[in-house]
Amino acid sequence: MKTIIALICACTFAIAATAALAQDPETQDVTEYRFNDEIVPGSLLRPDNSIITVRSAGKTKSLIRIRKHFIPHMLKSVEDI
């Protein structure tokens, strides 16, 4: 069953690749953009004398705890295989 699905996928990719290669490069339109240098007048706007203060994060314990019976449980599950 897996080989049939793999064969169908390979055929699909081969057909798609030949369709992509079959396009004639001369028929594709080429668009070219040229930008000239322009000076944009303006000024920088920003607030005067701005001071940002941030409260420090509180010190809390991690909510993630490692289970003490994890390793023996994993070894037990491997033995069942």
Which segments of 1-69 does DSSP mark as H helices, in order? 2-21
Q: Which domain holds residue 17?
A: 1-36
Return d(Cα 8, Cα 17) in angstroms, integer: 14
Determine the pLDDT at residue 32: 86
Determine the pLDDT at residue 57: 77
Low-confidence ranges of the chain (pLDDT < 70): 9, 11, 13-28
Determine the pLDDT at residue 52: 77
Residue type, 68: K
Determine the pLDDT at residue 17: 57
Return d(Cα 14, Cα 6) in angstroms, integer: 12
The reply to whether 6 falls in a domain is: yes
Determine the pLDDT at residue 23: 54
Determine the pLDDT at residue 38: 85
The reply to whether 46 falls in a domain is: no
- Number of independent structural domains in the chain: 1
Q: Which two tokens stand for residue 54?
A: 């941030």
Return d(Cα 32, Cα 3) in angstroms, integer: 47
